[in-house]
Structure 1
């Protein structure tokens, strides 16, 4: 079996928004540095939690440039580069590579539904062929509840056979532990990353590689502890306590709209008011919801 990569705890980082509605690069860099200091192995920026599909490609490029310019190592970044238009997916991925960022998280093209396995394979294959860069590593992004385009096992197998080493992982955000465990079994060496915080621990016990999760914006230290000590019987009680805190925070952040709740909780923790803002169509919590969330 080849070594899994990426491996560890990656935060699906929230994106702060300025009063003008643009990504706040300064606050975002501060947040990324804080997440790494708290134990994250890397930052999976510009994903679902980061509101990526609400931002234009030039905004996405500028934010990635700001993070790299701030001194965060490119090999600790997993930006989302998959969009509906194949040519734009290629352009975003090429931009990441130009900055030294070699691993990206890539949604399938998601506008057309019911596409065939051949069509899905062809879309990913054409991205790889157009880029023709041996450094490229792709983490597939399986989130059918949002994309409505699942990534079937046969497509994963074909891509890995056709482009050895390129398709290095998968973020499974469907919330089905049995599906993640089946991926581990069916795809030796593939880094299977849980997209839901509470599922990282049971997935690790089945050979999973870690997580890319939203609640890590608030419980990075606990997730890092679980990842590093889940197999240490001498620290089993501490692992279970950390896992309980992870589950409790995930449940708390899911009571109302998740991204708005995470931002409200982060604003409350840090005192950074910029976290309250989201880009429409997503909206902040109402005053009543925020009050209920913060008194828990």
Structure 2
């Protein structure tokens, strides 16, 4: 059964100008997200996780816990092209008390079979060997080229009914998200579409929430939508969330979100991304802020440095 519900941010990772992770600002950003109703899918795609080492991910997780951020709010991304790295990250997350882990399939080799993906997830589960392990499968075929098929989910659930807890669907294909929900949600499998734009369609069918990049910059409104999609303000909440999402989607999202957080915090280094990504040019940043102003978007209560 899925342990997790709600809206989760694949938390953007701040860096210093020298490209080292900025632990202090990472903790502050996570605290602000939690204060605004969000869970923390640290080390997701929008966290630049593929550009972080295993040691950096472990250290940042430990820093969050040492700062008092509740482990119950964490859904760390622990997938890797290296099986042993994935096991190390998953074992650490479970030992830290995270109630779920988001596990990307190995993404270097292309055209791998369901048999190969089943073996990858099976090895992680068997090697971690912890009854508290709850894996959320990460379906992002446009990046991984290793899709999580319905047949693979069914096979994994049959073999590991307590360890396989749900999935994040980042395909952007509503029909695929709906198929996952229709096939498995009734049995407690937690499906998280990767955009808040699907919330009003997904929640009535039994979705668990969403894991969305823009939760990083719009947590309170997306959390309000999660809680109120079926209320009198539901349509208005969905419309406003959609408007903000569309603006960010029209720009490279990681640099765009970091630009907005830089403006809110007053910290220039928030714009820094690790290569091969490049930060948003100022002209594009100003255009982004103007578009957001036009839909009355504001970041409320962000800590300033």
* TM tier relative to shorter chain: over 0.9
Q: Aligned-pair distance for 1:241?
A: 1.9
| Structure 1, unpaired ranges of 5+ | none
Q: Matched residue pairs, number?
A: 289
Residue 107 of structure 1 aligns with which residue? 104
CA distance in 1 between counterparts of 2:215 and 2:240 reads 11
CA distance in 2 between counterparts of 1:197 and 1:12 reads 13
Residue of structure 2 aligned with 1:70, choices 67, 70, 75: 67
Q: Provide the aligned C-alpha RMSD in A.
A: 1.2
Q: TM-score by structure 1 length?
A: 0.94
Residue 289 of structure 2 aligns with which residue? 294
The alignment status of 1:210 with 2:209, answered yes or no, reads yes
CA distance in 1 between counterparts of 2:236 and 2:99 reads 35
Q: Is the 8 A contact 1:193 1:211 kept in 2?
A: yes
The alignment status of 1:253 with 2:248, answered yes or no, reads yes
Residue 303 of structure 2 aligns with which residue? none
TM-superposition CA deviations, 1:183-231 (whole Å, max 9, x none)? 1111131100011121122111221110011111111111111111222
| Structure 2, unpaired ranges of 5+ | 292-305
Q: Aligned-pair distance for 1:166?
A: 0.8
Residue of structure 1 aligned with 2:7, choices 6, 9, 12: 9
The alignment status of 1:45 with 2:42, answered yes or no, reads yes
Residue 263 of structure 2 aligns with which residue? 268
The alignment status of 1:80 with 2:77, answered yes or no, reads yes
Matching of residues 160-239 of structure 1 within 5 Å: 160-187=157-184, 188=186, 189-232=188-231, 235=232, 238-239=233-234
Residue 22 of structure 2 aligns with which residue? 24
Q: Is the 8 A contact 2:78 2:102 kept in 1?
A: yes
CA distance in 2 between counterparts of 1:245 and 1:269 reads 20
Residue 301 of structure 2 aligns with which residue? none
Q: TM-score by structure 2 length?
A: 0.92
User: What secondary structure sits across from 1:240 in the alignment?
Assistant: helix
The 10-residue stretch of structure 1 (65-74 or 247-256) with the greater mean CA deviation from structure 2: 247-256
Residue 282 of structure 1 aligns with which residue? 277
CA distance in 1 between counterparts of 2:262 and 2:128 reads 39
User: What secondary structure sits across from 1:215 in the alignment?
Assistant: helix
Q: Is the 8 A contact 1:5 1:169 kept in 2?
A: no
Q: Is the 8 A contact 1:184 1:192 kept in 2?
A: yes
Q: Aligned-pair distance for 1:36?
A: 1.0
CA distance in 2 between counterparts of 1:19 and 1:266 reads 16
The alignment status of 1:244 with 2:243, answered yes or no, reads no
Residue of structure 1 aligned with 2:149, choices 135, 152, 155: 152
Q: Is the 8 A contact 1:5 1:190 kept in 2?
A: no
Q: Aligned-pair distance for 1:157?
A: 0.7
CA distance in 1 between counterparts of 2:259 and 2:200 reads 26
CA distance in 2 between counterparts of 1:95 and 1:5 reads 18
User: What secondary structure sits across from 2:47 in the alignment?
Assistant: coil
Q: Aligned-pair distance for 1:279?
A: 0.5
TM-superposition CA deviations, 1:117-162 (whole Å, max 9, x none)? 1111011001100111111010100000111110111111111111
Q: Aligned-pair distance for 1:250?
A: 1.1
